[in-house]
Amino acid sequence: MIYKTLITVIALSMTVISTGVSAAAEGNAKAGKAKSGVCAGCHGADGNSANPTWPKLAGQHASYIAKQLADFKGKKRSDPLMSSQATGLSEQDIADLSAYFAKQTGSQGAADEKLASAGAKLYRGGNKKKGIAACIACHGPTGAGNPAAKFPGLSGQHAPYVEKAMKDFRSGARSNDMNSMMRNIAEKMSDKEIKAVASYISGLH
């Protein structure tokens, strides 16, 4: 049942997206680079953050980055650092920064060998007994994500950041996921399961 529901939600999401509910500004990567200096302090000049608790932005879909920045600006997502940084961004600033980081090359991560098998099982097959849908359904076999649906690319992302994001969805501290999709999945996952799938994602490429 959980898998049929997930497919239905994805189909509805794509329908809404295709109707063009709102027109986004077209981003200019060159302009985004000129505006990215303040971002570099945490995320790195090329979007590959050195601190594993801060996400890599390099190679991430522009549509996803733009949504997150808009959500921080609109207070749909909260973070002590990002909320204040996003407040002064215009729609064009958001589009330009998103375009710039999307064009960068993300660095590869590595999975913990002790967690890789359990993480792979969850990512690719979920857990039917607990009603946990497989990550592969939205994020793809290689973690490439889906830019049209604003499902982020996960390949090579820092494991500590993914783990924190999952726990934030589980606790409700983060609630800007479409139709509560991530919250509904994360709330069924144990700390051990979250850690395993986060590690697997880090090594996925």
User: Which residues are registered as beta bridge partners of 127?
Assistant: 132
What one-letter code names the amino acid at 188? K
User: Which residues are registered as beta bridge partners of 151?
Assistant: 146
Provide the angle, in degrees to the nearest 10, between the axes of the packed helices 62-73 and 91-102: 140
**Tokens matching residue 35:** 């505006």
pTM: predicted TM-score of the whole model, two decimal places = 0.88
**Cα separation, 46 vs 98, whole angstroms:** 12
- 140-196 pLDDT, tens digit per residue, is 999 999 999 999 999 999 999 999 999 999 999 999 999 999 999 999 999 999 999
- 29-86 pLDDT, tens digit per residue, is 999 999 999 999 999 999 999 999 999 999 999 999 999 999 999 999 999 999 999 9
Q: Which CATH number fits domain 28-102: 1.10.260.40, 1.20.1440.230, 2.30.38.10, 1.10.760.10?
A: 1.10.760.10
Whole-number Cα distances in Å, 8 to 2, 16, 179? 10, 13, 11
Find, among 137, 147, 145, 151, the residue nearest to 205 by Cα: 145
- Per domain, the residue ranges of the chain are 28-102, 108-202
Q: Are 64 and 151 in contact (CB under 8 A)?
A: yes
Domains 28-102 and 108-202 share a fold: yes
**CATH number of this structure's domain 108-202:** 1.10.760.10
